Chain A
Amino acid sequence: MSESNQTTGERTPQLKRTPLHALHREQGARFVDFEGWEMPVQCRGILEEHRAVREAAGLFDVSHMGEFIVAGPQAEAFLNLMLTNNISRMSEERAQYNLMCYPDGGVVDDLIVYRRSEEAFLLCVNAANTAKDFEWLERHVNSYDCTLQNVSDKYALLALQGPRADEILKPLTRAVIEHLEAFATEETSVAGRDVILSRTGYTGEPGFELFTPWGDAEPLAKAILEAGSALGLQLIGLGARDSLRLEAGYPLYGHELSREITPLQAGLGWAVKLKKEADFIGKETLRREKSDGLKRKVVHFRTGTRRILREGTPVVADGREAGRVLSGTLSPMLNEAIGSALVDSDAVEQGNLHADLRGKSFPLQLVKPPFYTSRQRKS
């Protein structure tokens, strides 16, 4: 047996560790090198963890993600230049999904912006892109009356996600969580620790993300785990984080978004405000792409089999190559391989797409995500 698509890396001493490293090690987690971080890929097993989040709740350590603070009288104007969504329409204590683009419409990163006050914003970016993003922002900030600060090593980030997340968190905080709407945030305390509590997530489930000082993350995680253990709460690794986000239809930078894939092609036009006043970086190209029509687009597919069609697998229409798979996994809830692909628009129109896996043809059934969430099951 030989692994042809191994994603794990060697453990080397220079890998960075999150404050929950020891806790994961105690729980028997398996670690991988993820962009220079020694991160847990699984604890009890990817499929079991995935189901726990859909059926009960899961706690994720995503402290490797980057955080920046942008503050000052022109912070809003600066972010309106750098980002595609309309920052001016975000009130205090709200969060907003954004893309940061190059002039040609390619994506630097996707990120969540949190408005902390009139003049202060917290940006949460992908771990793999933290250094690149900071340089890109730094290159443009000088002409604006605001400061840019990398606080990635000050903030840890936990995510508590699943249909029982509210039930688990409620006794630990004075925040009135039933009034916390989607994309609302509140500065509060949980289990006696200062947090920015946010009604956001990356699983398609109800739940929260909690920013907390690096040093408070471990006691906070232990308190949440203790409160949730009787309700089925589990620690979740990056493996299930990936299958959960794909099942929910969320993009992952480096797959559905990249230097080469524009937000419009990725189906994220709702977060690209071409009508906003600011001429954000990439606006002209994206406006032209929209009026000319998309040449290719990201689609989501079911396969009807358990055979995973992995990244890079060619997509074929009428005997010619029309695209490639961007992400593929087994949907534990559908018990079927699912994925995303970047495909020529005319081939998508015609339909009849197949994936070609080592000479074998697999018909793709295109679907609009989410593939599955617990909310669907109830309805």
Chain B
Amino acid sequence: MSDSKDLKYAKTHEWVRQEDNGEVVIGISDYAQKNLGDITFVELPSAGDKVTRGESFGVVESVKAASDLYAPVSGEVIAVNEALEDAPEKVNESPAGEGWMIRVRMEDPSGLDDLMPESDYQAQNG
């Protein structure tokens, strides 16, 4: 599991981790998974699909609610976490690790500038 200090957050509770090769990995925050409760289903795009910043790229469901996932950056989906299809509970168990959702090649790296560091995100959702 990666250190959540490396992550940047969107107001809509997705995290982004920047990789060395200009790609980013996206998931949802620990705060979000706790609020959702037991996650029962995750719908993700396919590799090759485009995602657009601020627009829905999938759905995460718990027993009590279905929630849209919003892309924190724009770009092309390089990989999706297929393990979540059979084991969506990984999002609860390890939201910043095995519960990652998609890997994206960003169109414009400056898109990351609007995201919050961990400390600001924590302060917002304390």
Q: What is the interface of chain A, defined by CB distance below 8 A to chain B?
A: 1-8, 30, 41-42, 45-48, 239, 243, 305-308, 310, 329-330, 337
Contacts and interface: CB of A to CB of B under 8 A. Distances in A.
A47 B65 contact: no
A308 B36 CA distance: 14
A182 to B, nearest CB: 29
Contacts of A1: 12-14, 28, 32, 60, 67-70
B63 A3 contact: no
A297 to B, nearest CB: 26
B70 A308 contact: no
B65 A3 contact: yes
Contacts of B60: 1
B5 interface: no
Interface residues of B, number: 23
Nearest to B35: A3
B66 A310 contact: yes
Interface string B38-64: 101101000000000000000011011
Contact of B67 (A2, A42, A45, A307): A2
A33 to B, nearest CB: 13
A303 B35 CA distance: 26
21 contacts: A1-B12, A1-B28, A1-B32, A3-B35, A3-B66, A4-B68, A5-B64, A5-B65, A5-B67, A6-B65, A7-B65, A30-B37, A45-B37, A46-B37, A46-B63, A47-B63, A243-B63, A306-B41, A308-B40, A308-B41, A337-B40
B99 interface: no
B88 interface: yes
A7 B67 contact: no
Contacts of A45: 37-38
A2 B36 CA distance: 10
A4 B64 contact: no
Contacts of B64: 5-8, 41, 46, 239
A2 B38 contact: no
Contacts of B65: 3-7
Nearest to A307: B41
A337 B66 CA distance: 13
A313 to B, nearest CB: 11
Contacts of B63: 46-47, 239, 243, 308, 329-330
A314 B65 CA distance: 18
Nearest to A357: B66
Contact of A307 (B61, B68, B69, B70): B61
B37 A239 contact: yes
A1 B101 CA distance: 13
A330 B89 CA distance: 13
B98 to A, nearest CB: 18
A306 B14 contact: no
B116 to A, nearest CB: 14
Nearest to B41: A306
B54 to A, nearest CB: 11
B40 A306 contact: yes
A48 B38 CA distance: 9
A30 B36 CA distance: 11
Nearest to A360: B43
